[in-house]
Structure formats: C-alpha cells, structure tokens
Amino acid sequence: MTSVTMWFEGYWPGLKGEVGGKAASLGEMTGAGLPVPPGFAVTTAGYRAAHDAADLDATLARLLHELDISDTAQVSRVCSEIRDVIRTMPLPGEVEKQIRHDYSELCRKCDVEDLPVAVRSSATSEDSPDASFAGEHDTYLWIRGGDAVVDAVRRCWASLFTDRATCYRVEMGYEHRSVEMAVVIQKMVRPIAAGVAFTLNPANGDRSQVAIDAAWGFGEAVVSGEVTPDNFLVDKVLLEVSKREISNKAHEYRLTDHDSVEKAEVEPERAQVPCLTDPQLKAIAALAKTAEKHYGCPQDIEWAVDADLADGDNIILLQARPETVWSKKPRQSVTGSADKNPMASIVSTLMNPLYARRD
Amino acid sequence: MADRFPSPFDIETPAGAEGWQDMYVYSSLFSEARREFEDSIFWFQDGVHWPKVLTPWDATFYEFAIASLSQYNTRHLQVPPANGIAFRILNGYGYLTPVPADPATIEARVENFMDRAGFYFMNWNDLYDKWMVKIRDLVKELESVNFEPLPEIEDADGVVKSGAGLGSGYQIQENYRTLLDLALKLWNYHFEFLNLGYAAYLDFFGFCKQAFPGIPDLAIAKMVAGVEVDLFRPDEELKRLARVALESGVAEAFAVGDVEQTCEILKGSDAGRAWIASFQESAEPWFNFSTGSGFYHSDKIWIENVEIPFDFINDYIVKLQSGEDLARPMEAIRAERDRVVNEYAELLATDEDREAFQGKLGLARVVFPYVENHNFYVEHWSHSVIWRKMRQLGEVFVKEGFWSEPNDIFYLKRTEVEDALWDYYVSWATPEPPAGPGRWPGIIDKRKGICKALATWKPVPALGAPPEVITEPFTVMLWGITSDSVSAWLGGGDAKEGELRGMAASPGLVEGLARVIFSPDQIGEIQQGEILVAPLTAPSWAPIFGKIQATVTDTGGMMSHAAIVCREYGLPAVTGTGFATTNIKTGQRIRVDGNNGVVTVLD
C-alpha cells in the first residue's frame, strides 16, 4: 500500500494518481528547485483507509439508495448528512498518527508551534469533474494545531459529496464508493517582504536581466500598486545586482495576532531602507531563472521572503505565469551586416562607439 | 557646475617649484608657441600610469610610450577615427589628449586599416610568437649592456690588439645610447599589438551591449579573460615557494622576519640551499616585478628588494599552515567561464546572433593573451632591467664624484646623461678634472627640492574644455575616462555628500574600514579585513589581496591592470573615482559597491 502521506520533496510522477493534481504540481516544482511553501499531502491511501475503517460504503449505499436527483431538497438533505458523517468519522489510528506526525514535523522545520497551514483538496482525476466540483469549497486557511488539521482534512474529504458532485455521479452512473481524494497541507506564508519578478527587463526586453519589485509585508502592496516598491535589476548569468532604486515604502500588509491581514504604516526608518539583502536578491533572481528554464519561456512570478524559514530556504515561489508583453513580440536579431566580416565589424565599432557606460 | 577645467596656462607653479620646466624636454611642455592648439582641447591627467611627479629621466618612458602609441595609430595602422595621443607635462605630472583623425581622411584610412590590421588579425598567433622571441631577445640585449668605470689603461689583448680600433670610452657612451635605443624599441614593440587587441575586444563588447543593454562590463571581461595569465605568475611563484618551504621543512626560517637572518638560516642546510636555488629559478624572470606601475625609478622591484617577496612568502606559509588552500581552482575557473559564455549565448535571440557572438568572442580570445601578458614583459621585466642598468651607470658617476648616490642619475634628463658621459669620457681621455662634480650636485639638489614641492600639488584631473561625449575607444577602455567621470570631476567630486562614483570594475558589495595608501611602501600598514584605498594598485600587490575586502582607486578603467587583478582575486573594486584618496581617511567606515561603481563614506 502507498503511504498515508507524502512530503513534496518525496514526489515522483508515479505517485500522481495517489496525491492528486495539486500535490503533484507542488511536488514537481519542489523537485525542480522551485521552492513552494513547504508541506505534504495526505494520499488517497489515507482516504481509502479512513473510508474503509468507517465503513462508508454501507453509509453511502444506505443514504444514496433511490436518491432522486431532481428533488433538490432531498439531494441537499442527503448530501449534507453524508458530509456530516465524513466530517465526524474517526480516523484509523495509523492515518491520524501519520498526519499529526507530519504536521509536527512541519512545525519543527519552520520552528513555529501550531504552525498556521493551508489545507486544500487535491483532485486525483483530471478527466472526471468529481473532484473539481469538490474543489469549490475545500480550501481552509490559517489552520493551526494537529486537531484542527485533522479536522480540515476530513472536511476536504467531505467536499467529495457536494450536491453538484453527487448529482453528477448519479447522472453519469459512476460509483460513489470509488471516488477518492488527496489533501494538501502547506505552510501559510508569512512574508517579511514580497513582490514580483520578471525574467527580462520590462523596460527594454533585455533577456539577460531579472527585474525585481519588492516591498515590505505581503505582496498585495506591490501587485495593487499601492506602494512604490524597491526596484532592482539582477544580471541573470552572474547573479549580480546591476541596478537598485530604493523607494519610500510607506505602507505594508501584515498579519495581525488573529491571523488576518491588515494594512499598516511602516516606521519611517524601515520605509527608506532596501527591503531585500543582496543574497536575497540573488536567490530571487535564481528562482526566477529556474522557473523560466522549467517552463521554457519568460516568466512573471510572485515570490515572498518567509519569516519562519531559515536563511537560504526562505525565498518562496507563490505563483509563476508566462510573461506576456515582450514574449509576444518577435525577437530581433542584433547581428548587422558588418558583423559578418570581422574587419568591417571592428572598423564599425571604432567609428561608432556605442557603449554608454551606464544606463 | 563649471563647464570646463582650468586652462593649462592658468595653472600656477607651487611655491618652491619655480623652474620645474627645466627638468623636461621643451617639446613636452605647454608653450606659447602652440597655445592656440593646446588651449582649445581637453587634457586629462594619466594617473593610471603616472600618478606621481616625474623626475627628469623617468619622463623618458612617458615620452617613449605615448609617442609609440601614437605612431601605431597614425602611421602604421591608420586606426580610422583616432590619431595619436598628445602628451604634456605640467607641474611634473603627465597630461594626455586623444587627437582625432581628420574626417576627410577617414575613407582612405579605413582601406589601409582593413589591410594592415586585417593582416595582424589573420596572422595573430604567428606574429605573437615572433613578438615573444623579439621581447626575450631584447631583454637579453638589455642584460648584456654594462656600465663599468673606465680603466686606467685599456686591456692589451682584449682591446688594443683586437684590432677593433675602439675602447671603453667609446663603449660606455655607445652602451648608454644602446640602452635608450632598446627602451624606445621596447615601446614600439609594446604598441605593435595593444590597440588592435583592444579593438577586437571592443567589437565583442559592443555586440554584447547591443544584445543585452544591461550586461555588466565585467561579465564581458570575464568571458574573454584568460585562465592562465603571465601577469599572475609572480604571485603563483610565491605560493609555490611557500609550499616548497613547508614541504622541505625550512618554513621556520621565514618566521624570524629579517631577510638576512632568514638567508643565513637557509644557507645552513641542504634543504635551505635547495630552497634558495628554487627561489632564484623563480626570480628570473618572475620577480622582475615592480611594486608600482613600473614607470618610476623609485618603484621597488622584488628582485632588488627580496624582503618584499620574502614577506609575502611568509604570509603564504602562515596561510598554508592554517590549512588554507592557495591553489587556484583552474578547472572550476574554466568551467565558470564556459557557463557564463553558454548562458549568455542561450539568451541571444537567433542562431545568427549566436554565430556572430561566438565569432567575436573567438577573436577577442585570440588577441587577449597579448593584452593581459604584455604588461609583465614590458613594464615589469624589461623596465626592471633598465632601472637596474641605469643605477649601475649612476654608480659609475658616484665613483667619479659627479653626485652622491646612484639614483641621483634620474634627476638628469636623458640628454643630460649623454652630456655627463661626454664630460666623464673627455676628462678620462685627457686626463683632467671633470666639470660635472662642480655642476651636477647643485642641479640635482635643486631638482629634488622642486620635485618635493611638486609632490605637494594635487594634480587637477583635467584641463581645458571637455568634449560633449567621450567616445574615443582607447581613452575609455584604458584610462576609464568617460562622459560620466568628466562630469563628476567638474562637479568637484562632491555630487552627493559622502559618495564617490567610478567604474564598477569587479563585483560585490562590502562594508569595512578604509586604509588609505599613497605608495607601495605603505603596503605593510594594511590590516586584515580593511578596504584598500589608493591612487592606483599594481599587479604586484596581489599577495595582499588575501588580506583586504575590497579596493577603491582614484584612477583606472575596466582594463587597467588593477581591475584585471581584482577580478582575478574576486574582490569588489571601484576604480577611477578621481577623489578617493582625497575624500576618504584611514579608519573611516565605507561601503564599496563593485556592482554599481559607488563608494559611500558611512561615518
């Protein structure tokens, strides 16, 4: 039997069926050197064990027997009852133990007691819409502590039996007892600083540079344009910072004590200083470069420096998507006719020295 | 902000330096005769090679070097846009100006340049092999030049009966002329390849900047730079000798800290004697290495001042003992260079671009060994021999009472040395008392006073009206003179309080305490972890680079020898700041940003 859980680092493509699309993608990124927030998945084996231990088959057979999917009141009542059963079913000892063990391990890695995590479903079948229906209501943020985590896992499982998903299966003649679900448990990012990065210079399309915009706290401030971010250019090959413009970053989005995000003023002395160190800039540029290589085209990424992770491991990739402005333009060759004849080229260089020494 | 620098004709003579003009040949001075020309153009002080006052004889290399450069641009190769560099001496310091070619002649020059330079590029490796033979032969010739006091009577067999019809009196004069001829020949050889090397480099440089507008200059330098460079050999030899000392068990001898005692101890054992033999093998030629630019008789040369290499060797012994690995990781350096090249190539837009990139890089790499290596053969090795021979001649005059110490000879102009030799020859031939002992001590004393007074004058970085943009390629590359640095000089260097701008010559960002050093003699003051601030640095300072965190210089461009060595040793460097030694004091906390060419005083 497959293990009950899988750390993102332990992913290989053979596990995709047991961990679902989301966990597979996180595992693949981790393996490719794209550091997503750390975490693990509860596999379908975990679900299956719980399913069998609670004898869900019998419950499902009893409750779904003669379900009339045109009777929405009945559907709603029945599905709600099934979800209640799942939400309250006891877990087999080894499943619960493993989830709690991995969660404590994650807390230990981040050196935070009752580490806040996000708990999300991870669909196991791309073709069947079961799980994607289930995906409608199955993300739980700021979950703290082993009990709450186990509870959130069960709630994710329960979302297999939303009204829509259930009706769909009846309509298509699919077996309810064969559906399965994996669940992702992942650290909530607590950013010291965050922002975006492009794997080219958006001002002139220079592919040898990574452009980084960064501000204190959560990335919303940068993305929404509420704060003028620090702006950096890093050479993609040498990973050296070639330009830095430090702004007055007057506001930031930061966490309150009760796990919500608030907009706050930044103390003047902190507002004026760079929100990233050179090693952090290099790490972000390296991350952007890895993403570009992995996806095979220029990227526009969101990243954060996590407060709970150790230096060297604290740059987190939140999102990567293709860059769209320069990538759409055809790339221009810079080789002129003179460049093909070395002497003509040297003469042209001497006659038209083009090098401006600084931008 | 001023829009021009002072006129050379408005610069006052420092008190006590009156009559300084008599120390130099008239053609090297600003003069009423060509005032209109001299006042219409822009001159910059060459602190890269001549940061200190030139004594009269030392002006020889200055004049030979720049004239040779000009001759190649203008008369040999016909570099299309650039004629030569005009040079002047003002208050003892060298000022240069690039002279552009007449636009009307450019078309014809292009044709000639394509033919002549093209031949060099096509046959580079053969010609460079020949150059190596020529330069080694030249050093041999220099070594064979000797200056001995004239004999009481000529040797019967060797001279009289040889049938040569010539004697020592003729020979000593010929030897001096030979020395001068060889020095001029040396500088002709120096510029046979240099500007062509830069031209090929600039062609690759320009292509990279076009493909990647933001590419750091030093990334380009890194792709072209050689892995094994002769300029680093002296330092490698020191490391080798430190290893040999440890392996053969004689390392303790170096801990006593006194060269003579160390040598005594070494001579006392077989292993020690073997080490000395090994040292002598390294010393010729590699310790013909100047602590300065090689252009001053006062720069110390390792082989004449063995305490310098001995101290460095001792430092390396200590490092080896503490487990440090001094070996340069050649494979890793090569692999890193390949990685950088491959990654930029991959980022290019088209295969056509990649082909052009590789072609230009290939040519730049063919020519670059000359650019990197010539400095050792010319300014260090050959110059060291010439300084030694001149001191030998100076000693002859000391014996005859012309002056009191060998180095006094450098207070004579090169033509005056011929006069003194003539005087010596005639008085030996007659015999009669020479006139020199009554003449030269007074002149030398006066000139020493003038040089001292001139040394207190801080040379203005430039003179006259600057052009709107500085585009002359060699000026930018070799001297680091750019439109930016000129406007910084015009602003007096205080554009932003506590901030200096220069060339981002070697990457990295560090903070630390400054150690301001004005001459190589102060190298010993540098403490572990300090930031070196100096008018310029010489390649021979490399052994202290293990001690310091970063380097800041007043002068120098991306390709100045200091920049090359800093990159090699992985130290952040900002060069060509203009005012670092003026604005920074020892002990101040400073930040050096080698990525952006900015130095900030934090105190």
Rounded to 10 degrees, the C-alpha dihedral B511/B515/B518/B519 comes to -110
Mean pLDDT score, A66-71: 86
pLDDT for residue B135? 97
CA distance B384 to B295: 10
Q: A38 versus B499: which is more confidently predicted?
A: A38
- Tell which of B74, B106, B350, B595 to mutate to test the A interface (max A CBs under 10 Å): B595
Task: Delimit the domains of chain A by residue range.
Answer: 5-187, 191-328
Q: B321 versus A1: which is more confidently predicted?
A: B321
Contact A353 B471 (CB under 8 A): yes
Q: Is a pLDDT exceeding 90 seen at residue A175?
A: no
CB B447 within 8 A of CB B55: yes
pLDDT for residue B494? 47
Contact A241 B596 (CB under 8 A): yes
pLDDT for residue A357? 35
pLDDT for residue A359? 33
pLDDT for residue B496? 67
Q: Is a pLDDT exceeding 90 seen at residue A139?
A: no
pLDDT range class, residue A358, cuts 50, 70, 90? very low
SS (H, E, C) B170-195: HHHHHHHHHHHHHHHHHHHHHHHHHH
Q: Which residue has the tokens 């062509």?
A: B196
Give B106's contacts in chain A (Cβ within 8 Å). 351
Q: A76-86, pLDDT tens digit by residue?
A: 999 999 999 99
Give A338's contacts in chain B (Cβ within 8 Å). none
CA distance A146 to A91: 13
CA distance B510 to B529: 10
Contact A353 B473 (CB under 8 A): yes
Q: Which two tokens stand for residue A358?
A: 């600084």
Task: Delimit the domains of chain B by residue range.
Answer: 8-114+457-463, 119-215+367-453, 230-328, 480-486+493-601
Give B477's contacts in chain A (Cβ within 8 Å). none
Average pLDDT, chain A: 89
pLDDT for residue B472? 65
CA distance A304 to A290: 16
Q: What are the Cα distances from residue A57, in Å, to A175, A321, B72?
A: 10, 42, 94
Contact B597 A358 (CB under 8 A): yes
Give B570's contacts in chain A (Cβ within 8 Å). none
- Topology annotation, domain A5-187: Dna Ligase; domain 1 (3.30.1490)
Q: What are the Cα distances from residue B570, in Å, to B318, B329, B379, B474, B566?
A: 21, 13, 24, 25, 6
Task: Using 70 as the pLDDT threshold, list the residues of chain B that sit under it.
Answer: 1, 469-473, 477, 480, 491-496, 558-562
Q: What are the Cα distances from residue A92, in Å, to A4, A96, A180?
A: 11, 6, 16
CA distance B404 to B530: 40
CA distance B56 to B59: 6
Minimal CA separation from B518 to chain A, in Å = 28
pLDDT for residue B132? 96
Tell me if residue A12 falls in helix, strand or coil. coil
ipTM of the complex: 0.82
Minimal CA separation from A286 to chain B, in Å = 13
- Tell which of A199, A201, A238, A299 to mutate to test the B interface (max B CBs under 10 Å): A238
pLDDT for residue B93? 97
Residue A238 has its nearest CB partner, among B114, B216, B353, at B216
pLDDT for residue A125? 62
pLDDT range class, residue A127, cuts 50, 70, 90? very low
Minimal CA separation from B349 to chain A, in Å = 6
- Give the pTM: 0.85
Contact B347 A240 (CB under 8 A): no
Give B209's contacts in chain A (Cβ within 8 Å). 354-355
CA distance B55 to B579: 24
pLDDT range class, residue A355, cuts 50, 70, 90? very low
Q: Which two tokens stand for residue B146?
A: 């000797």
Q: Which residue of A has its CA nearest to B201?
A: A346
Contact A354 B210 (CB under 8 A): yes
CA distance B194 to B538: 19
Minimal CA separation from B534 to chain A, in Å = 23
Interface residue ranges in chain A relative to chain B, Cβ cutoff 8 Å: 201, 204, 206-209, 233, 235-238, 240-244, 278, 331-335, 339-340, 342-347, 349-351, 353-355, 357-359
pLDDT for residue B493? 47
Contact B213 A359 (CB under 8 A): yes
Give A201's contacts in chain B (Cβ within 8 Å). 213-214
Contact A332 B349 (CB under 8 A): yes
pLDDT for residue B51? 85
pLDDT for residue A133? 57
Element (H, E) at B549: none
Contact B209 A355 (CB under 8 A): yes
Q: B447-463, pLDDT tens digit by residue?
A: 999 999 999 998 988 99
Give B344's contacts in chain A (Cβ within 8 Å). 208, 237
Mean pLDDT score, A313-328: 91
Contact B219 A237 (CB under 8 A): yes
pLDDT for residue B329? 82
pLDDT for residue A130? 52
Q: Is a pLDDT exceeding 60 seen at residue A136?
A: no
Contact A346 B359 (CB under 8 A): no
Which CATH code for domain B480-486+493-601? 3.50.30.10
Minimal CA separation from A204 to chain B, in Å = 8
Q: B558 versus A251: which is more confidently predicted?
A: A251
Nearest by Cα to B91 from B147, B21, B161: B21
pLDDT range class, residue A207, cuts 50, 70, 90? very high
Contact B216 A235 (CB under 8 A): yes
Contact A208 B212 (CB under 8 A): yes
Q: Which residue of B has its CA nearest to A354?
A: B206
Q: Which residue of A has its CA nearest to B336?
A: A238
Q: Is a pLDDT exceeding 80 seen at residue A129?
A: no
CB B282 within 8 A of CB B303: no
Contact A342 B113 (CB under 8 A): no
- CATH (one of 2.40.30.10, 3.40.50.300, 3.90.1170.50, 3.30.470.20) for A191-328: 3.30.470.20
Element (H, E) at A333: none
Mean pLDDT score, A155-161: 90
- Tell which of B73, B198, B353, B577 to mutate to test the A interface (max A CBs under 10 Å): B353
Nearest by Cα to A130 from A156, A181, A165, A182: A165
Burial class (CB in 10 A: 0-12, 13-18, 19+), B255: exposed
Of the CA atoms within 13 Å of residue B341, those in its CB half-sphere come to 21
Q: Is a pLDDT exceeding 60 seen at residue A134?
A: no
Minimal CA separation from B206 to chain A, in Å = 6
Minimal CA separation from B106 to chain A, in Å = 9
CB A154 within 8 A of CB A54: no
Across the A:B interface, residue pairs with CB atoms under 8 Å apart total 137
DSSP state of B74: I
